[in-house]
Amino acid sequence: MIDFTFTEEQEMFRKAAREFAEIQVAPKVAEMEETGEVCDEVVKALGEAEMMALTIPEEYGGLGLGYTARLIALEEISKVSVGTAMMLQVFALGIEPIIKFGTEEQKKKYLPALAKGKRLASTAVTEATGGSDPTGIRTSYRKEGNDYILNGRKCFITNSHIADTITTLAKDDENPKAFSTFILEKGMEGFKPTHKEHKLGMRGCNTGELAIENCRVPAKNLVGGEGKGMRVALGAIGDVGRGGMVGCALGLQAACLEASVTFANERILYGKPISNLQAIQNKLAQMKIDLEAGRLLGYRAAAIQDKGGRSSNEFAVAKYFTTEAAQKAAKMALDIHGGYGCMEEYAVSRYLRDSFVLGPSAGTSDIMKVIIARWVLS
Amino acid sequence: MMKIVVCVKAVPDPQQACNIRIDPVTKTLMRCEVPLVLNPLDKNAMQAALDLKEQFDAHITALSMGPPDAEGIVRECLALGADQGILLSDRAFAGADAYATAYTLATAIAKIGPVHVIFCGMASSDGSTEWVGPEIASFLDLPVVTMVEEIVECRSLQWKVKASLAHGYRLMQVQLPAVFTVTRELNTPRALVFSGIIKARKKSIVRWGIDDLGVPAEAVGLKGSPTIVSKLTTTQSKREVNILTGTREEKATQLLQKLVDSGVV
């Protein structure tokens, strides 16, 4: 028997996340848009509201709530600020390799502080030469005694300048087919954030470069064993990365629809609200159809993930559908708002900019189709 | 241990006020059409209890009367930090006015046993009578302070509270047990957190019906409600724009005359 309803507890999670976003995040959105910088108060509030603890097991100071609860939280936060949801989604992406593949020592060392938001996480895979195809990366490591020496440059890294704990993929200097994942920590000699990006959207969510120059990393920071790095990185990106983007996209879809309904009921044309016009109703109906379909895809994938199943393909479908739908929804929302939609004081202009950042994050739509086609053909 | 009861009510979501309709025949709110939420001022009442629990050894009971759907708001109180939840739910309780509601709640409080403090929101966002708190006090023969905006002293059984008035405030000294209705100025309600929701899994909600309270059917619900809503009308507000012409002095004179004519000055 399939039950498509949320439990009473899940509805309460949604309420908690919504209240958090409306009370703690919404007042800071204008500032984040204006400056493009991370708002420290929002990051602190995320920690206090236990948002970083959702997927971390209880024995390491987390809540152990799993991925459906995470998707609910991301959707609600994204309704208010896609940038904040993106920041939170990548915290989890940085944490996941430690949860799934970390040693007991690593879990005890890192997870409790990450759960409280006292330390912030990220993951660093993408480089100029490889992102969706991580085999193309050039960041390398070589063993020297009990340590590893890393060299390279990572780009388009979310939370690059604020993260304390960054799970980083590197290639064996001597064997280009071997990859390993290391935990790099802020302040390590030879490791620093450099250039900050100025993105089209998701302002207030930090993205930038990481420079790694002869950075000495102790062997105890190796995650999942030497040569197992690709499994570690892709294991996190496939499920948690794509799943997080689905949460961000669903929130944006819902925000576009809500703003459009409000505006269409208020804007009078030909003596009536424009919501009476069939052309507008058509757009609203399409947005609703896409939102409902996206939710079914996303929450189904999260349910599989919660049961311990492999959900990366299901999330590829959901990621493709929801991020494409979010772009369409933002365009339709802007169209419904007419000239007002082009004005910064209306949130829909932000929605449109944010929607274009959703697609490339955690793999473009074209890459999702490549993955889905492989799944179909396998 | 300080025993606290917080009376909470499930009300139609005020954010969806435009969708709230009144049944023209029964003259009651059509509650099923809008989701039920915790009455906003009851959140302040809950927070007052939680603040006390942080200072003293205290036990909080969230008490509500309503349809089975109201269990959600009792569960929310447990997630916020209440230790126990009681929902008074029975078809016999339906249609209660403030008097019958207060009687039913007071009977339940008496059944709970000795309590030190009873908190209520000053008013509900739907009925807004402000009567339930004082009427509970009356049924239980307890002192009551309405519109409490600050608990000044609470270290003994002799409390000092500041309560608002239209153009000032009252500083009251009250002997516990007592009933307090609170305003939004009293505190800032804490938001739900995920760990609180998880802790609520282990807390129970007791459901009491008319037989559990042992009250006659004539005393509760619609039968026990003396209030008669004889007529309902919708209010209409109209605006009229008049453009004054002439010199500045002439326009001032015209404006003054209009204000006098309309009884404003």
The shortest C-alpha distance from A19 to chain B (Å) reads 7
Task: Please tell me whether residue A63 adopts helix, strand or coil conformation.
Answer: coil
ipTM metric? 0.84
The shortest C-alpha distance from B161 to chain A (Å) reads 29
CB contact under 8 A, B197 and A54: no
β-strands B144-153, B158-165: how paired?
antiparallel
Q: What is the DSSP string of A151-182?
A: EEEEEEEETTTT-SEEEEEEEESS-TT-EEEE
pLDDT at site B229? 81
Tokens coding B34: 């809008």
Task: Please tell me whether residue A141 adopts helix, strand or coil conformation.
Answer: strand
pLDDT at site A3? 82
Q: Is A9 on the interface with B (CB under 8 A)?
A: yes
Residue B151 pairs in a beta bridge with B161
CB A42 within 8 A of CB A32: yes
Interface contacts A/B by beta carbons within 8 Å = 38
pLDDT at site A101? 94
Query: Which candidate from A11, A23, A63 shows the least CB-CB separation from B194?
Result: A63
**List of chain A residues whose C-beta atoms are within 8 Å of the C-beta of residue B194:** 13, 16, 49-50, 53-54, 63, 65, 69
Q: Delimit the domains of chain B by residue range.
A: 2-219
CB contact under 8 A, B193 and A16: yes
CB A163 within 8 A of CB A186: yes
**List of chain B residues whose C-beta atoms are within 8 Å of the C-beta of residue A23:** 191
CB contact under 8 A, B192 and A19: yes
Residue B150 pairs in a beta bridge with B162
Q: Which residues contact A110 (CB under 8 A, 6 or more apart)?
A: A98, A102, A119, A165, A183
Cα(A62)–Cα(A113) distance, integer angstroms: 10
Q: Is A262 on the interface with B (CB under 8 A)?
A: no
| B215-250 pLDDT tens trace | 999 999 999 999 888 877 777 777 888 889 999 999
| Residue B189 Cα distances to A35, A47, A121, B53, B245, angstroms | 31, 19, 31, 14, 52
CB contact under 8 A, A13 and B195: no
Per-residue pLDDT of chain B (265 residues; tens, 9 = 90+): 999 999 999 998 888 877 777 777 777 777 667 888 999 999 999 999 999 999 999 999 999 999 999 999 999 999 999 999 999 999 999 989 999 999 999 999 999 999 999 999 999 988 888 999 999 999 999 999 999 999 999 989 999 999 998 889 999 999 999 999 999 999 999 889 999 999 999 998 999 999 999 999 999 999 999 988 887 777 777 788 888 999 999 999 999 999 999 888 8
Cα(B106)–Cα(B134) distance, integer angstroms: 11
Give the angle subtended at the CA of B190 by the CAs of B157 and A46, to the nearest 5°: 145
The shortest C-alpha distance from A230 to chain B (Å) reads 33
CB A123 within 8 A of CB A238: no
Q: Is A174 on the interface with B (CB under 8 A)?
A: no
pLDDT at site B242? 86
CB contact under 8 A, A69 and B193: no
CB contact under 8 A, B192 and A54: no
CB B117 within 8 A of CB B180: yes
CB contact under 8 A, A54 and B194: yes
Q: What is the DSSP string of B150-176?
A: EEEE-SSSEEEEEEEETTEEEEEEEES
**List of chain B residues whose C-beta atoms are within 8 Å of the C-beta of residue A63:** 194-195, 198
Tokens coding B168: 């000032």
Tokens coding A350: 């932000």
| Residue B225 Cα distances to A158, B89, B103, angstroms | 61, 17, 10
Q: Which residues contact A52 (CB under 8 A, 6 or more apart)?
A: A46, A88, A91, A92, A95, A114, A115, A116, A117, A120, A121
The shortest C-alpha distance from B213 to chain A (Å) reads 28
Residues of B with CB under 8 A from a CB of A: 72, 75-76, 79, 191-195, 197-198, 201
Task: Please tell me whether residue A142 adopts helix, strand or coil conformation.
Answer: strand
Cα(B142)–Cα(B137) distance, integer angstroms: 5
CB contact under 8 A, A16 and B201: no
Tokens coding A298: 């996303």
The shortest C-alpha distance from A24 to chain B (Å) reads 10
Task: Quickly tell me which residue has 């396998």 as its tokens.
Answer: A378
Query: Which candidate from B75, B76, B198 shows the least CB-CB separation from A63?
Result: B198
pLDDT at site A1? 59
Residue B119 pairs in a beta bridge with B6, B180
Cα(A144)–Cα(B106) distance, integer angstroms: 76
| A85-120 pLDDT tens trace | 999 999 999 999 999 999 999 999 999 999 999 999
Q: At what angle do helices A312-337 and A278-306 cross, to 10 degrees?
A: 160
Report the run of H or E that residue B89 belongs to, with start and end. Answer: none
Query: Which candidate from B75, B191, B197 shows the least CB-CB separation from A13?
Result: B197
Tokens coding B169: 């405030």
- pLDDT averaged per 10 residues in sequence order, chain A, 378 residues: 86 94 95 95 95 96 95 98 97 94 96 96 90 86 94 95 96 92 95 94 95 96 93 85 97 98 95 96 98 97 93 96 98 97 94 96 94 96
HSE-CB of B30 using CA atoms within 13 angstroms: 11
CB contact under 8 A, A16 and B194: yes
Q: Which residues contact B83 (CB under 8 A, 6 or more apart)?
A: B59, B60, B61, B203
CB contact under 8 A, A12 and B75: yes
CB contact under 8 A, B194 and A9: no
Cα(A39)–Cα(A25) distance, integer angstroms: 9
CB contact under 8 A, A12 and B76: yes
Domains of chain A: 8-120 (1.10.540.10), 122-227 (2.40.110.10), 231-377 (1.20.140.10)
Q: Which residues contact B115 (CB under 8 A, 6 or more apart)?
A: B3, B4, B5, B61, B109, B177
| A2-56 pLDDT tens trace | 788 999 899 999 999 999 999 999 999 999 999 999 999 999 999 999 999 999 9
Give the angle subtended at the CA of B14 by the CAs of B13 and B19, to the nearest 5°: 80
Query: Which candidate from B75, B79, B195 shows the least CB-CB separation from A50?
Result: B195
**List of chain B residues whose C-beta atoms are within 8 Å of the C-beta of residue A13:** 194, 197
pLDDT at site B16? 81
| B154-177 pLDDT tens trace | 989 999 999 998 889 999 999 999
* Residue A318: other Cβ atoms inside 10 A: 30
The shortest C-alpha distance from A16 to chain B (Å) reads 5
Q: What architecture (CATH level 2) is domain B2-219? A: 3-Layer(aba) Sandwich (3.40)
Cis peptide bond prior to B177, omega within 30° of 0 = yes
Q: What is the DSSP string of B197-248?
A: HHHGGGS-EEEE-HHHHT--GGGSTTTT---------------------S-H
